[in-house]
Structure 1
Amino acid sequence: MPIKIPDDLPASRVLEQEGVMVMRETDAVRQDIRPLKIGLLNLMPNKINTETQLARLTGATPLQVELTLVRISNHIPRNTSADHMATFYRPWEEVRTERFDGFIITGAPVEKLAFEDVTYWDELRRVFDWTHTHVHRSFNICWAAQAAVHHFHGMGKYELPEKLFGIFRHRNLAPASPFMRGFSDDIAIPVSRWTEVRREDIPADSGLEILADSREAGLCLLHDHRHRALQMFNHLEYDTGTLADEYLRDAATPEGSRLPRNYFPGDDPKQRPVNIWRSHAHLLFGNWINEMYQTTPFEMGRIGRHS
């Protein structure tokens, strides 16, 4: 099945060129099935790229998915046009009465700030609590994952001496988990962050299960059973060139930028990187959507009302 997104969303053209089936509204209503309803709260600066990356992954399964783009209600993005936001995004205050099979919250460029100093922290805390009652399964990425384990479990984040940046090998610690089904023992995952959360801070009674970690990069993926959420601290959704774009952006600043590790062939930024994580990205999102499909109530009104 295809993914149902607004006809004029820039991601539509990109995904169609890649062979991903994109469903129009008129076609969707003719199918006598209930699509999986997934919301995307996009906090990333380059919203169009992030929309495309996550629509690609959620639209690659055999199930029909309806993607709703959501924004923080009172926050005005600086890097995306007001027309784009007004046309394709709905404020969370508008969708909070609705229920979703799945809800994704992305990272944000606010890692070095204390959580409480982020301008939209109070609303994001309400969003986290709302996912526990109005969402069947959540998927939080990078800073949003750090924020979620801080909000729900009181875990802190720690600033690193330098940016953790590149492709790092990770261990599959829970091959029996439905979310890790089909994963290799050794997984290459893009990492791009200034902070980390630590294993020793996981509360003993939290129900948090470590699914993947790295000896170099630390915690990567947690399953929060109690809140029906995956907490992904890294970026399997990244395109082949995303780290290169970040490197060039940072290199133009006074602070400069170190080369991303294990990324450019021969550490030569003129060489095109080789994508060795794409298959695992599709596998993780496919497993998440399959688990959601297998367990979500058919009646939307029952979502969030059962354990």
Structure 2
Amino acid sequence: MPIKIPADLPARAALASENIFVMTDERADRQDIRPLEIAIVNLMPTKIATETQLLRLLGNSPIQVNITLLRTAAHESRNTPVQHLERFYKTFDEIRHKSFDGMVITGAPVEHLPFDQVDYWDELVGIMTFARERVYSTLYLCWAAQAALHHFYGVPKHVLPGKVSGIFCHEVLRPECRLFRGFDDEFLAPHSRHTEVRTEDVLRHPELRILAESAEAGLAVVESRDQRQVFMTGHLEYDRGTLDAEYRRDLARGDDPAIPRHYYPGDDPDVMPLMTWRAHAHLFYSNWLNYYVYQETPFSLTALARDDGERAS
């Protein structure tokens, strides 16, 4: 799919070099089609790297996608240039009058804090409520998945005795689910987190169903039964070197981190990691865009807003 992004977004050059089909505003404006409107709420401190990772996966489909990058206004980013944020990002107040076909909300390194002590928690609650009302399908990643499960369903997060970091094998529990069309019975995916959501807590909510889990890493993918909310506790979007960068960052600040499991050949951090999850990552995001967004969302997004407004009244 051609993915529509600004011509000067840093991710564009990286994606073009990988033969990912990207489209500039000028070319997109000449096409008479109804593109998908997808918002990415980027809570990660490494915003430029995260943009590239997600755009790479969202660009793997035959439908044109317009991307809106969102940041929280309540939090000052120290790792991304202000000029980049001002040029490419919007805040929630700037888009709250709109509707979107799909939304992706990323994780954030704030697991050690209770949800209500995160400095942008109230703003994020507003975004999640907006997503429930004005977005057809929302994909929550890692901490955002925990935050949404807590906010909407009261599912608690639990602190782990040690960080779950590495590449883990997952079992597809519901192969009939359209998110897993084309998947093998098992798939690999990265995890990087200090907290978890537990299966027994999710099972208390009949409006949720568990789609995939790992014997080592635990719960992996959950969805609402109307399929408009998808919660993923791992990071299929990660690049080959993301876990390596996190491991060396933690080493540099004296945290004594464990070596990410099943990641470096021979558990040797001096050996380049193998990329063993790329195919399933592309397939998962392509399935989400196709089956949960494109084939279900109304042609007119104003119809989505009106329909949700009628249900709320």
Range class of TM-score, shorter chain: over 0.9
Match of 2:304 in 1: 303
For 2:34 and 2:226, the matched residues in 1 are separated by: 26
TM-score (norm: length of structure 1): 0.98
Amino acid of the structure 1 residue aligned with 2:304: I
Q: Does the Cα contact within 8 Å between 1:165 and 1:191 map onto a contact in 2?
A: yes
In structure 1, the residue matched to 2:128 is 128
Three-state SS of the structure 2 residue aligned to 1:8 is: coil
- Contact 1:132/1:227, CA 8 A, preserved across alignment: no
The answer (yes or no) to whether the contact 1:208–1:225 under 8 Å persists in 2 is yes
- Residue 206 of structure 1, CA deviation: 3.9
* SS in structure 2 at match of 1:166: strand
Q: Is the 8 A contact 2:153 2:205 kept in 1?
A: no
* Segment drifting more, 205-214 vs 293-302: 205-214
Q: Which residue of 2 aligns with 1:252?
A: 252
Instruction: State how 1:222-233 maps to structure 2 within 5 Å.
Output: 222-226=222-226, 228-233=228-233
Residue matched to 2:118: 118
Partners of 1:203 and 1:192 lie apart in 2 by 23
In structure 2, distance between residues paired with 1:298 and 1:152: 27
Distance in 2, Cα, partners of 1:229 & 1:21:
27
Report sequence identity in percent. Answer: 50
Q: How many residues align?
A: 307
Runs of 4+ in 1 over 6 A off after TM superposition: none
Distance in structure 2 (CA, Å) of the matches to 1:140 and 1:46:
17
Q: In 2 relative to 1, CA 126–227 (structure 1 residues): closer, same or farther, beyond 3 Å? A: farther
Return the alpha-carbon distance in structure 2 between the equivalents of residues 77 and 18 of structure 1: 28
Distance in 2, Cα, partners of 1:303 & 1:279: 32
The CA distance in 1 between the partners of 2:227 and 2:158, in whole Å, is 23
Equivalent residue for 1:24? 24
Query: Gapped runs of 5+ residues in structure 2?
Result: none
C-alpha displacement at 1:30, in angstroms? 1.1
**Conservation of the 8 A alpha-carbon contact between 1:153 and 1:203:** no
Shifted more, 268-277 versus 196-205: the winner is 196-205
Which residue is 2:10 aligned to? Answer: 10
Structure 2 matches for 1:153-302, cutoff 5 A?
153-202=153-202, 204-226=204-226, 228-291=228-291, 292-302=293-303
Deviation sequence 1:177-231 (CA, Å, 0-9, x none): 0111111111111010000011111253441111110111110000113471110
Amino acid at match of 2:198: R
Cα deviation code 1:134-182 (max 9, x no counterpart): 1011000000000000000001101111100101111000100011111
AA matched with 2:173: L
SS at match of 1:161: strand
- Structure 1 residue 300, shift from structure 2 partner: 1.2
For structure 1, the residue ranges without an aligned partner over 5 or more in a row are: none
Paired residue secondary structure (2:295): helix
Per mean C-alpha deviation after superposition, the further-off stretch among 248-257 and 102-111 is 248-257
Structure 2 counterpart of 1:88: 88
SS at match of 1:189: strand
CA distance in 2, matches of 1:178, 1:85: 35
Cα distance change on mapping 1:7 and 1:195 into 2, 3 Å: same
In 1, the alpha carbon distance for the partners of 2:125 and 2:206 equals: 18
CA-CA distance at 1:45 after TM superposition: 0.8
Conserved? CA contact 2:74–2:119, under 8 Å: no
Q: Which amino acid aligns with 1:268?
A: D
Q: Which residue of 2 aligns with 1:64?
A: 64
Q: Contact 2:203 / 2:209 at 8 angstroms: preserved in 1?
A: no
- What is the DSSP-based 3-state SS (H/G/I as helix, E as strand, rest coil) of the residue aligned with 2:263? coil
Determine helix, strand or coil for the equivalent of 1:295: coil
2: CA distance between counterparts of 1:187 and 1:10?
A: 31
